[in-house]
Amino acid sequence: MTDFSRTKRAFHLPYGVTYLDGNSLGPMPRAAQQRVAAMMADEWSDMLITGWNKAGWYEQPQRVGNRIARLIGAGPGEVVMGDTLSIKVFQALSAALALRPERRVILSDSGNFPSDLYVAQGLATAMGARLRVVAPKSVADAIGDDLAVLMLTEVDYRTGRRHDMAALTARAHRAGALTIWDLAHSAGAVDVDLTASEADFAVGCTYKYLNGGPGAPAFIWVNPRHADVARPILQGWMGHEAPFAFTPDYAPAPGIERMRVGTPPVIAMAALEAALDVWDEVSMDHLRAKSVDLTGAFIAEVEASCPDLLLNSPRDPERRGSQVGFRHRQGHAVMQALIAEGVIGDFRAPDVMRFGFAPLYNDRDDVSRAAATLARILRDEGWKKAQFMRKAAVT
């Protein structure tokens, strides 16, 4: 059984703060500062350019990718790190479209993160394709014989609604389409199994539930059946079969290595490696069970004490990620009042308060404190002070 009291001690959490915004940025692992300092002092400082070989910087993107692979149901040598999530979405989508040249439709939903949609819009224009966006509940019915790529974020960043990856992937495959899954709100939060779901591509960031730090690099996974034929438009020297031959023409590296682009962010990945240490002792089944317990308890406590709030997340835990949203007409002011009292969640327009529960460091005490503080602010209209202060700052 995973000892979550032990994993909680692995993070620096400011005294008196209940942190429920790990779905935006995870807290700092205690080991990260020392790991980065050691990398700079023992590797960069002493080894200089030889660190690429002596310290293994060149292999770092796949070494770190292998550690993330276990958390998302992928195999060794199937995940590689580097660049930002938007770049990885661009690579996956361009490669998927190229694998279905006879089809020109990209399907996504209105709950997808806007940046993913922006990338899809740009690629659709450049490649003569068309982006079709439907409501999340309408995705399955919108999969037709003209579809090239189904591109979805598994867990909706606003509502926490979770798509059925296996069912939608199977439906897309029956229609002859490929799938891309964005795991930004899944990796480290829910029990993902890319292999069992038979997905085609997946991408994700590492600064949320994986706690890699601000700007931590993204990852990309390609199903092994596509890994040696996928050709993204964005082709960089680190994805070349012989990057140090410096030939003028591009020749893709075998497998997932072709999804590398530029020089990897070595310092940032040192922090990420420290963050991943704690995952070595975590069972994803136990993590998911705790997530369901925390989010379910929070919904129950808030609804019992805050009748004016409207649940903005699925009640069924099978359809919910590891975050809970509630709506209130003064949601922004209420959230500012909560943050002022040390309960940190976040707000999404027009009226949604989001609370992310990270099982590695959140527990039932966090649930109770957040629910009780929220109820008191609403009862005493403590949010009015936050609203007044905001107006005063504007004027």
**Per-residue pLDDT reduced to its tens digit, 44-54:** 999 999 999 99
Q: Which of 181-195, 280-294, 378-392 has the lowest mean pLDDT?
A: 378-392
Per-residue pLDDT, 393:
46
At residue 395, the pLDDT reads 41
Which stretches within the chain are classed as H helix? 4-8, 30-38, 45-47, 51-54, 60-69, 85-99, 114-127, 139-142, 165-174, 194-197, 266-276, 284-305, 331-340, 364-379, 383-394
Q: What percent of the chain has pLDDT over 70?
A: 97
Mean predicted confidence (pLDDT) in 123-145: 97
- For residue 304, give every residue at least 6 positions away whose Cβ sits within 8 Å of its Cβ, in sequence order, or none: none
Between CA 24 and CA 258 the distance in angstroms is 29
* pLDDT of 394 over the 50 cut: no
Q: What is the pLDDT, as a whole number, of residue 383? A: 67
Catalogue all structural domains in the chain, each as residue range(s) with its CATH number.
31-280 (3.40.640.10), 283-394 (3.90.1150.10)
| Whether pLDDT at 306 is above 50 | yes
- pTM of this structure: 0.95
Residue 172 has pLDDT above 50, yes or no: yes
Residues annotated catalytic, as ranges: 113, 182, 207-208, 354
Contacts 24+ apart (CB under 8 A), 310-316: 312/158, 312/159, 312/352, 313/159, 313/160, 313/161, 314/159, 314/160, 314/161, 314/162
- Tokens coding 233: 């438009």
- Asked if pLDDT for residue 19 goes beyond 60, the answer is yes
The pLDDT assigned to 384 comes to 74
- Provide the pLDDT for residue 147: 98
Average pLDDT of 11-23? Answer: 97
For residue range 228-271, what is the model confidence (pLDDT) as tens digits? 999 999 999 999 999 999 999 999 999 999 999 999 999 999 99
Q: Which amino acid is at 92?
A: A
pLDDT at position 32 is: 98
CB atoms within 10 A of CB 395: 5
Per residue in 335-393, pLDDT tens?
999 999 999 999 999 999 999 999 999 999 999 999 999 999 999 876 676 554 555 44
Band of pLDDT at residue 201, cut at 50, 70 and 90: very high
